[in-house]
Amino acid sequence: MSNILITGGSGLVGTALSNLLAEQGHLVKHLSRTRNLSAAIPAYEWNLNEGTADDEAFHGVDYIFHLAGANISDGKWTNERKKIITDSRVKSGELLAKKVKDLNIPLKAFIAASATGYYGSLTSEKIFNETDSAADDFLGTVCRKWEDSSLKFQDMGIRTVLLRTGVVLALNGGALKKLYTPVKLGIASPIGSGKQYMPWIHIKDLCKLYLDVMNKDGFSGPYNAVSPNHIKS
């Protein structure tokens, strides 16, 4: 049994992963904006604006899964929204690294979400691999800064894994639920030209991958967490 701390635990992936870990007998806790220790999965408070996090959340932790980050599809990308998207990923990673260093937590691994947006948002026939450079558009820049904040753990000698995730498909939320609504109403149409590639992964496969990454010490660095089958949206 491992002691696991998850950020973004109330999100689509965080909820599924938390349940899977708990089912396997692991001790799971969340970092959240609201403290609730009586919940099925206890939540400890952190505040990115104030740069604080409950020390108690880190006690005895073996692994941290860092999934926190504002949804990029919630609203227009105004300058204010771009700052929220960036800060929710970068400042959170930096805060976690500071707490682990200050509290001298002997983590076995730090496992963080990233995104295939690392390679940019333009349509391309190229199949990117983990050795390719980050794009210089907004998504590429956000992912590069996001990963840089996570790599602070690697600098501390902690095994660090980054999962560059595609669109996560699940019946109970996420992109598929949003795409299904216009289909159900009979007004669906191709997105844009309909020729752009959409890297994707099923939520069950993603959660199993997170478990493999945790359990196998050979995993380190960035990995593309996507299906091998390339489809167009």
pLDDT digits (tens, 9 = 90+) for 92-131: 999 999 999 999 999 999 999 999 999 997 767 778 889 9
Kindly report whether the global pTM for this prediction surpasses the value 0.85. yes
Per-residue pLDDT tens over the stretch 1-36: 999 999 999 999 999 999 999 999 999 999 999 999
Per-residue pLDDT tens over the stretch 154-165: 999 999 999 999
CATH superfamily name and code, 3-168+201-225:
NAD(P)-binding Rossmann-like Domain (3.40.50.720)
Parallel, antiparallel, or unpaired: how do β-strands 160-165 and 109-115 relate? parallel
pLDDT for 180 equals 53
The structural domains of the chain, with segments of one domain joined by +, span 3-168+201-225
Question: Residue 40: exposed, middle, or buried by beta-carbon count in 10 A (0-12, 13-18, 19+)?
Answer: exposed
**In degrees to the nearest 10, what's the CA dihedral of 78, 81, 86, 89?**
-160
pLDDT for 23 equals 97
The Cα–Cα gap between 46 and 96 comes to 10
Average pLDDT of the chain to the nearest whole number:
91
